[in-house]
Amino acid sequence: MALTGAENANMLAEERRFRIREILSSQRTITASDLCAALGVTAATVRRDLAALEQDGVLVRSHGGAVSRMSSTNFQPSYETLSHSHSIEKRAIARAAEHLVLDGETVFLEGSTTVYELARGLSQRNRLTIVTNSPAIVCQLQRSSRVTVLCTGGDLQKDTFYLSGEWAQRALSEIRLDKAIMGVSSIDLSYGISTANHAEAQIKKMITRAAKTRIALADHSKFGTQSFAHVGPVSDLHVLVTDSGTDPKYIKGLSKAGVEVLVAELPESRTNYHKRTNKNKLS
């Protein structure tokens, strides 16, 4: 079923192409007709998306579809691409997570695009101390007179705008936090939490050890996937905030593992889109 005009506008070209990358990271081939069904777009749109991704070296077009040129476990899109992907879901998740941060706390905000959305809503808090490895979050909070901001330093990963490495790890080894809030690349109920980058996995592990309360923000697309670098079991988390597009089986599984799950409601049109996408989801 095709999307309405409003829904189609919500799914930007970058988001569609990110979704195609995700599908190809879990399976090596895809047909154009399956993509039309999964994305709710026309064959002409799919052809343009596949041509653009072929030019980027992501795939090779074949008769009636495409073949992946990516590794299935170390797929790492750029920060700019991530910032446009599932943007409606990320904003909803961020708003739902705001009440988890209390005035007077010391909180680590990890360098992910979903956590960045949360940071935007914290600038008017009182006596809040934010520690971060994200240059984007530092810039976002620089004019806030009420929030103290500390940056870990470290090696800048230019594609993901993320500070990691020895300096960042040294800073994290010397602090204790009320809460750590992190983004998540992949969540599998059996394998746990993982990410495409080993350096990022090390940062996530360290903030997990440093914080009294561990919170993860993850939209529906992160579930049921595995990435290259393991972070830890889902039981390491105290709270996970996701959106209403997430399959209920994952929410139930997390609850059984002792994780409190908060679900951010999406606009009705977006929720209906996810229902259709899940129905047509490629295994």
> Is it the case that residue 2 has pLDDT exceeding 60?
no
Indicate the pairing of strand 155-157 with strand 162-164.
antiparallel
Is residue 19 within 8 Å of 39, Cβ to Cβ?
yes
Q: What SS3 string covers 215-236?
A: EEECCHHHECCCCCEEEECHHH
Averaging pLDDT over each range in 10-14, 197-201, 254-258, which range is the top one? 254-258
Q: Retrieve residue 251's tokens.
A: 């929410």
The pLDDT, as a whole number, for residue 3 is 41
| Cα 230 to Cα 217: distance, rounded to the nearest angstrom | 17
Residue 38 half-sphere exposure toward CB, CA atoms < 13 A: 20
* Beta bridge partner(s), residue 56: none
On the question of pLDDT at 6 being above 50, the answer is: no
pLDDT at 166 over 90: yes
Neighbours of 114 (CB within 10 A): 27
pLDDT grade, residue 174 (50/70/90)? very high
Contact (CB, 8 A) for 215 and 241: yes
User: Per residue in 233-256, pLDDT tens?
Assistant: 999 999 999 999 999 999 999 999
Q: What is the pLDDT of residue 270?
A: 55
What is the chain's mean pLDDT, rounded?
A: 85
HEC sequence for 55-124: HCCCEEEECCEEEECCCCCCCCCCHHHHHHCCHHHHHHHHHHHHHHCCCCCEEEECCCHHHHHHHHCCCC
| Residue 104: pLDDT over 90 | yes
What's the mean pLDDT in 50-77? 75
Q: Taking a C-beta distance cutoff of 8 angstroms, is the pair 227, 74 a contact?
A: yes
For residue 159, pLDDT beyond 90:
no
At residue 93 the predicted structure's pLDDT band, cuts being 50, 70 and 90, is very high
Terminal CA-to-CA distance of the chain, rounded, Å? 19
Q: 85 or 215: which carries more pLDDT confidence?
A: 215
- 64 closest CA partner among 50, 83, 52, 85: 50
Confidence of residue 218 (pLDDT cuts 50, 70, 90): very high
pLDDT at res. 226: 85
Phi-psi region of 101 (alpha: psi -120 to 50; beta: other; left: phi over 0): beta
Task: List, in order, residues 6 or more apart from 253 with CB less than 8 Å away.
Answer: 189, 234
Q: Which residues contact 84 (CB under 8 A, 6 or more apart)?
A: 12, 14, 15, 18
Give the integer Cα–Cα distance in Å for 213 and 215: 7
Domains and CATH numbers, the chain: 5-72 (1.10.10.10), 80-272 (3.40.50.1360)
Q: How confident is the model at residue 97 (pLDDT cuts 50, 70, 90)?
A: very high
CA distance 130 to 138: 9
Residue 164 pLDDT > 90, yes or no?
yes
**Is pLDDT of 267 > 80?**
no
Q: How confident is the model at residue 55 (pLDDT cuts 50, 70, 90)?
A: confident
Label residue 10 by pLDDT band (50, 70, 90).
very low
What are the tokens at 168? 């960042």
Q: What is the band of 283 on the pLDDT scale with cuts at 50, 70, 90?
A: very low
pLDDT at 260: 98
User: Which range, 5-9, 21-25, 134-138, 220-224, is most confident?
Assistant: 134-138
Is 148 or 12 the better-scoring residue by pLDDT?
148
Residue 221 pLDDT > 90, yes or no? Answer: no
